[in-house]
């Protein structure tokens, strides 16, 4: 509810101004800015500009009761706001006694005015303690940088087998997937697709074969496959959707699989950096806490003649991207839902199980590698993407029901041990 417009010169009423000093924490900043926009009847962008200018006067003059009501509502939303009677000052700056205090230093708690105030992500400091804070932050950044170099080295050479081993020997682990929908040119058809696919197809819990599936159903599908492969009753997967956001450009190319060169590390850093920047720019830093982030870019048309799964996106450990055509789908909706599942699997550490010619590898790309004769395969392996009718003949399944997690992919996820799959893939090397 917006506050009524008030004539600042109206006589006979004690008046006050409402000043925004900051926010209780960065965790509440996004929702607090939305509340400012609502209460002041302004756009979110205008409210954001005001928030970035804090301390700032939100309401220059209003009856005291109206100002106090606005300050109270802002405080309930996570803002640090004051209703200050005009002509009266309750606190003065320790350094500039003639200036009204805007905040207290987080370290020494002295009163500071806007000339002294130093702001670091909602934390206010006097000049002296801000310099100390910056020095500590620099030391932390150096430590983080060194740790990051070490982490990149470990990620490039050792992460997959170590994480696989850790997941297998931990009796229960959760996998949280965050799906972020974006578009470079949003339109009504894309918004409709987003609304449909961010919700499960049915309200009943569990995976339901035979239904027309949505991307939100992928959590239930992974849980179904986990239970089938491991014979465990746990449901470790959950999926949360975010969006619909506008972007200017898609992510840079992912590094080629197995590339451990300096150039490959640079490409990985650029790829991960794109996702981290996207999350930060859309105020999702404190909301997205996920093992896998899947970016779903909705387009009218991919510009490709055949929309092969392996050409629709990219993935590097923990991050994945897929482009889905909304206005010109060449295949069933379930095919593109399965393609999203394919890139989630790749981001979880599954290898691409297609040959250079685009056929499922034999036997690691087959859903049933022990089947004799091996062809035709009854289903498609999710990391291969296609059902093998013959060794060099493939089909696109029209439903998510026809995809499974094969034994090797299950091992790569950390679901099962190497001992269980050694006999199935005698020529494979296990790490």
Please check whether residue 293 is in contact with residue 319, taking contact to mean a CB–CB distance below 8 angstroms: yes
Closest CA to 170 of 227, 236, 222, 225: 236
At residue 381, the pLDDT reads: 98
Please check whether residue 349 is in contact with residue 412, taking contact to mean a CB–CB distance below 8 angstroms: yes
Give the C-alpha separation, 39 to 43, whole Å.
Answer: 10
Alpha helices in 348-390 (DSSP H): none
Please check whether residue 269 is in contact with residue 318, taking contact to mean a CB–CB distance below 8 angstroms: no
At residue 369, the pLDDT reads: 94
- Taking the CA atoms of 130, 135, 138 and 143 in sequence, report the sign of the dihedral they define: negative
At residue 169, the pLDDT reads: 46
The beta-strand segments (E) located in 5-114 are: 15-23, 56-63, 79-85, 103-104, 111-112
Give the C-alpha separation, 215 to 179, whole Å.
Answer: 9
The dihedral over CA atoms of 363, 168, 165, 341, expressed in degrees to the nearest 10, equals 50
According to DSSP, residue 309 is labeled: G
At residue 215, the pLDDT reads: 96
- Taking the CA atoms of 65, 66, 71 and 76 in sequence, report the sign of the dihedral they define: positive
Give the C-alpha separation, 363 to 406, whole Å.
Answer: 10
pTM above 0.85, yes or no: no
Q: What's the N-to-C CA distance of the chain in angstroms?
A: 60
- Over the stretch 39-96, which tens digit does the pLDDT of each residue have? 988 989 888 988 888 878 888 888 888 888 998 999 899 988 888 777 554 577 888 7
Q: What tokens were used for 323?
A: 């482009």
pLDDT band, residue 150 (cuts 50/70/90): low
According to DSSP, residue 256 is labeled: P
- pLDDT above 70 covers what percent of the chain? 87
- Over the stretch 24-44, which tens digit does the pLDDT of each residue have? 888 888 999 999 999 988 989
pLDDT band, residue 8 (cuts 50/70/90): very low
- Above 60 in pLDDT, residue 430? no
- Over the stretch 285-325, which tens digit does the pLDDT of each residue have? 888 888 999 999 999 999 998 999 999 999 998 999 999 99
Give the C-alpha separation, 356 to 86, whole Å.
Answer: 75
Q: How many of the other CB atoms lie within 10 Å of CB of 167?
A: 16
The dihedral over CA atoms of 147, 149, 151, 154, expressed in degrees to the nearest 10, equals -140
Please check whether residue 295 is in contact with residue 182, taking contact to mean a CB–CB distance below 8 angstroms: yes
Q: How far is CA 123 from CA 26, 119, 130, 296, in A?
A: 9, 6, 10, 35
- Taking the CA atoms of 76, 80, 86 and 89 in sequence, report the sign of the dihedral they define: positive
Closest CA to 243 of 279, 200, 291, 201: 279
Range from 79-88, 105-114, 165-174, 414-423 carrying the lowest mean pLDDT: 165-174
Q: How many of the other CB atoms lie within 10 Å of CB of 275?
A: 21
Give the C-alpha separation, 366 to 406, whole Å.
Answer: 7
Alpha helices in 127-261 (DSSP H): 127-157, 159-169, 188-197, 218-230
Place of tokens 């498609």: 380
Place of tokens 């991960």: 272
Give the C-alpha separation, 15 to 64, whole Å.
Answer: 5
Between β-strands 103-104 and 111-112, what pairing exists: parallel, antiparallel or unpaired?
antiparallel
Secondary element (H or E) of residue 263: helix 262-281
- Taking the CA atoms of 266, 272, 278 and 280 in sequence, report the sign of the dihedral they define: negative
Give the C-alpha separation, 36 to 51, whole Å.
Answer: 9
The dihedral over CA atoms of 50, 56, 58, 62, expressed in degrees to the nearest 10, equals -170
> Residue 160: exposed, middle, or buried by beta-carbon count in 10 A (0-12, 13-18, 19+)?
middle
Query: Phi and psi dihedrals of 124, rounded to 5?
Result: -105, 135
């Amino acid at each position: 509810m917006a506050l009524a417009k008030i004539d600042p010169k109206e006589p006979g009423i004690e008046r006050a101004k409402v000043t925004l000093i900051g926010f209780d924490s960065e965790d509440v900043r996004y929702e607090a800015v939305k509340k400012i926009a609502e209460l002041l009847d302004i756009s979110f962008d205008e409210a954001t500009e005001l928030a970035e200018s804090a301390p700032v006067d939100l309401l220059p003059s209003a009856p005291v009761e109206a100002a106090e009501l606005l300050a109270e509502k802002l405080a309930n939303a996570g803002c640090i706001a004051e209703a200050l009677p005009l002509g009266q000052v309750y606190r003065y700056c320790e350094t500039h006694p003639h200036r009204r205090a805007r905040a207290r230093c987080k370290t020494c708690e002295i009163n500071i005015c806007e000339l002294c105030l130093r702001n670091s992500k909602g934390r206010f400091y006097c000049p002296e303690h801000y310099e100390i804070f910056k020095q500590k932050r620099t030391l932390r950044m150096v430590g983080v940088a060194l740790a990051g170099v070490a982490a990149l080295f470990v990620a490039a050479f050792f992460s997959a087998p170590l994480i696989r081993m850790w997941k297998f020997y931990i009796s229960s682990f959760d996998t949280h997937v965050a799906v972020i929908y974006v578009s470079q040119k949003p339109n009504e058809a894309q918004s409709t697709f987003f609304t449909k696919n961010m919700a499960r197809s049915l309200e009943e819990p569990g995976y339901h074969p035979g239904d027309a599936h949505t991307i939100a159903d992928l959590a239930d599908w992974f849980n179904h496959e986990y239970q089938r492969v491991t014979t465990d009753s746990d449901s470790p997967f959950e999926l949360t959707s975010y969006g619909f956001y506008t972007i200017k450009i898609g992510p840079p190319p992912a590094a080629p699989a197995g590339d451990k060169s300096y150039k490959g590390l640079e490409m990985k850093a650029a790829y991960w950096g794109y996702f981290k920047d996207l999350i930060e720019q859309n105020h999702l830093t404190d909301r997205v806490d996920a093992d896998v982030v899947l970016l779903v870019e909705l387009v009218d048309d991919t510009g490709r003649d055949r929309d092969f799964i392996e050409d629709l996106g990219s993935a590097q450990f923990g991050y994945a991207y897929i482009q889905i055509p909304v206005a010109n789908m060449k295949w069933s909706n379930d095919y593109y839902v399965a393609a999203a599942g394919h890139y989630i699997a790749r981001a979880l550490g599954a290898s691409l199980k297609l040959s250079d010619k685009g056929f499922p590898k034999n036997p690691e790309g087959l859903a049933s590698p022990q089947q004799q004769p091996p062809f035709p395969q009854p289903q498609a392996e999710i990391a291969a993407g296609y059902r093998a009718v013959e060794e060099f003949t493939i089909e696109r399944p029209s439903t998510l029901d026809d995809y499974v997690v094969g034994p090797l992919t299950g091992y790569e996820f950390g679901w099962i041990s190497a001992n269980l799959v050694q006999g199935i893939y005698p020529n494979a090397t296990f790490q």
